[in-house]
Amino acid sequence: MQAPAPVDVAILQTALDILVAADDLAAALGEPAMCLILASPGPGDLDARLYLRYAAARLHDLDDLWADWAAPKARRMYEQVAGTLCMVYDGQALAVTCPWCGEDDAWSVRELPGGMVAIVRAGVCEPPAKEVGTWWHGQPVRPISDWERLARKCASK
């Protein structure tokens, strides 16, 4: 007999929250677009794509003011999914010991201007120049693409 797969309650809750938000968004946009409103999702339905596609199509038909109204709602959905799936980088602390100064938990992931995601070292540390991608506000910075190499360096110390 097979046991059911383990369930992550946070992911299920997020899927339900996104479905409810997408259904609400679709219903709110269907009326001013004078379109039929989709039936609400039924029990066991967690797929929000139908409602999101419907809302996107209604936004295409409506005045730009509706897009401005819908944008923060869509942003909240995006942020909730990213947070639940651990895809939020900015401010994420990295539990490592700096291989150059020995300080624990001094690195974090930051989104820098221009959308660059980088590993930033807080505090006073001056690693060798060849180990630093650049400097930002006086702190050594490395692109996130360098994380694998940095992780190996930290593990070897």
What pLDDT score was predicted for residue 116?
A: 64
The pair phi, psi for residue 143, each rounded to 5°, is: -65, 150
**What pLDDT score was predicted for residue 7?**
76
Distances (CA, A) of 22 to 70, 77, 148: 11, 9, 37
- Retrieve residue 39's tokens: 């039936």
pLDDT for the residue 152: 87
pLDDT at 3: 62
| Structure confidence at residue 53 (pLDDT) | 97
pLDDT at 57: 96
- pLDDT reported for residue 18: 97
DSSP-derived 3-state class of residue 7: coil
Q: Which residues of the chain have pLDDT under 70?
A: 1-5, 88, 114-118, 157
pLDDT of 59 reads 96
pLDDT value at position 60?
94
What pLDDT does 142 receive? 81
Q: How many helices (H) and strands (E) does the chain have?
A: 4, 5
pLDDT given at position 75:
92
